[in-house]
Structure 1
Amino acid sequence: MFTGIVEESGGIAAVTEDEDGRRLRIEAEEVATDLDRGQSVSVSGVCLTVEEHGSGWFEVFLASETVEKTYLGKVAPGDAVNLERAMAADGRFDGHVVQGHVDATAEVLDVREIGEDWEYEFTIPNGFGKYVVDKGSVTVDGISLTVAERGDDSFSVAIIPETRSVTNLSEKEPGDPVHLEVDVIAKYAERLLDDAGFEVGDAEVAQTLEH
């Protein structure tokens, strides 16, 4: 489990392709200093397993399903990725519950500088609007964020300078892909409503979750 508090932005150092999937070597100054083989790491919101590691780097393997469902199948050397190690049992819970299971790939619609802060707007993929609510939690590229404003088919978040400097958001531009993981609590709530026999649409589920 992760919290969505990115530790650092690492870089893709090398990519190896084979018939079974894709292997990434990732450079990381902080995260790579305390890794074990088999440990879970969130790579831009995707939970992956460390296969090899050394001083300042580690390698992960992308199975075919991960390649198809995420944009990690298209990253190249030099690209930046957000990194977070799994939460320690005695660690601080500063973000929200993040599983590292990407629900969909969204797109950056707009990036606006507002004073010293920034505002990013993202698309809401089809079928996921019911999980995105005003002031609710959402994970974008592994970053725990709060929805500032919810539109019909998009949502925006406010980004402080610290978050922008530590993550790969500083390199994101309109049209770029991002990984989206909705709040798992919302999905559990939906399942409970379904099991209770409630038949509700996206707007009704969103309204229920807001209250």
Structure 2
Amino acid sequence: MFTGIVEELGEIVACEQLTDAARLTIRGKLVTSDAGHGDSIAVNGVCLTVVDVVDDVFTVDVMGETLSRSSIGGLGPGAQVNLERAAAVNSRLGGHIVQGHVDGTGTILTRTPAENWEVVRISLPDAIAKYVVEKGSITVNGISLTVSGLGRAETPAADGTRDWFEVSLIPTTLSLTDLGTAAAGTVMNLEVDVIAKYVERLHQRG
């Protein structure tokens, strides 16, 4: 489990394409400080298992399903990624409950800068739109964020979606995560609040 509070921006060092998987080598000085084989690290919101650690570099294997359901497969050497170690049971929950299981991807549609923050609008796939509410929580590339706006466009976006949501980013988020530099058209990993999915399931079985 994670909290969606990104600890550092890491860098993809190498990407090895396998038959139905990929092996990523990632540099992250902070997250490797106490990491070992079998530990979980969220990479752009995807929970991955550490295979090996050498100095400040760790290696993870990414299976085919994860590659197809997230933006991980599109990353190459030099790409910056948001990194977070699994939450400790005795730590504060600074964000919200994040599983590291991507529900879908959305595309950055617009960025609107203000004096002290920036509003980013992201497309929202039909399959998960029902789980997203204004002032609720959503995870974008592993970042726990509050939904500041919701809407539906008259015409579909380039990725075929009509629904969108907005998040308002403070300077800290802009400077410490990849959302600070991600341009319009960038594909982001989305994870909705797991509580919403459990409530729906209970209602269906009730």
TM over 0.5: yes
- Tell me how many residue pairs correspond in the alignment: 196
Residue 127 of structure 1 and its aligned partner are, at CA, apart by 1.7
Q: Name the counterpart of 1:53.
A: 53
Q: Name the counterpart of 1:158.
A: 168
- Cα distance in 2 between the residues matched to 1:18 and 1:133: 39
Correspondence 1:185 to 2:178? no
Provide the TM-score with structure 2 as the length reference.
0.93
Q: Name the counterpart of 1:200.
A: none
Correspondence 1:4 to 2:4? yes
Structure 2: tracts of 5 or more residues without a match: 153-162
Q: Name the counterpart of 1:146.
A: 146
- Cα distance in 1 between the residues matched to 2:128 and 2:104: 8
Residue 115 of structure 1 and its aligned partner are, at CA, apart by 0.5
- Cα distance in 2 between the residues matched to 1:71 and 1:166: 20
Q: Name the counterpart of 1:125.
A: 125
Residue 70 of structure 1 and its aligned partner are, at CA, apart by 1.1
Q: Name the counterpart of 1:93.
A: 93
Q: Runs of 4 or more off by more than 2 Å in structure 1? A: none
- Cα distance in 2 between the residues matched to 1:109 and 1:193: 33
Amino acid in structure 2 at the alignment position of 1:175: G
Residue 171 of structure 1 and its aligned partner are, at CA, apart by 2.2
- Cα distance in 2 between the residues matched to 1:58 and 1:144: 24
Q: Secondary structure at the match of 1:128?
A: helix
Q: What percentage of aligned pairs have identical amino acids?
A: 46
- Cα distance in 1 between the residues matched to 2:202 and 2:150: 24
Residue 167 of structure 1 and its aligned partner are, at CA, apart by 0.6
- The Cα offsets for residues 167-208 of structure 1, whole Å up to 9 and x where unpaired, read as 111221111100000000000111111112xxxxxxxxxxxx
Amino acid in structure 1 at the alignment position of 2:201: R
Structure with the higher helix share, 1 or 2: 1
Q: Name the counterpart of 2:181.
A: 171
Q: Name the counterpart of 1:205.
A: none
Whether contact under 8 Å (2:40, 2:50) holds in the other structure is yes
Q: Name the counterpart of 1:29.
A: 29
Q: Name the counterpart of 2:157.
A: none
Q: Secondary structure at the match of 1:65?
A: helix
Residue 116 of structure 1 and its aligned partner are, at CA, apart by 2.1
Amino acid in structure 2 at the alignment position of 1:146: T
Correspondence 1:109 to 2:97? no
Amino acid in structure 1 at the alignment position of 2:176: V
Provide the TM-score with structure 1 as the length reference.
0.91
